[in-house]
Structure 1
């Protein structure tokens, strides 16, 4: 857990490098960016702690690929910018008795 503004700025800078790979990064990081603003007291509130933990968890836990189940529908996420293209094929499967949407393939 970051203890001061300088550590939070460093953490957010690191996390921002991976932001395109972290789902809902801007939503979770919004309150954390606010405490880095000028003339704001650094305080990890009940709103900010879960936001920090979600980003930290997403950075430290890589998704594992699922085996495709051909009887279940797939979800295709795509992104393109200029000459770059990325895609992820996902599927919702039951993992540990809970529905889990996970990746099957990345390009």
Structure 2
């Protein structure tokens, strides 16, 4: 049975979310959000990826309403990521131009 609405459709009692050319299984049960995040972040082949990458992976498979907060909280409290002391989802800033010093040892930089 297929019941369609603009972005949601029902097939075999499973609700899917469609956006452009992709469709994903809709998960509305809050308990399942934890299981999905665990699978996509803690799994050995995922290697505890950043928040952005985990979000990309989850979004390609499942659509979860208002789940970004849970994702952020889950990754920020991940014990392995905390031990590795990695920043999640933080982008490096742009390089800045350093003016040529007028005197020796006026400016010291490190890479």
TM-score (norm 2): 0.22
**Structure with max Cα Rg:** 2
TM-score (norm 1): 0.23
More strand by share: 1
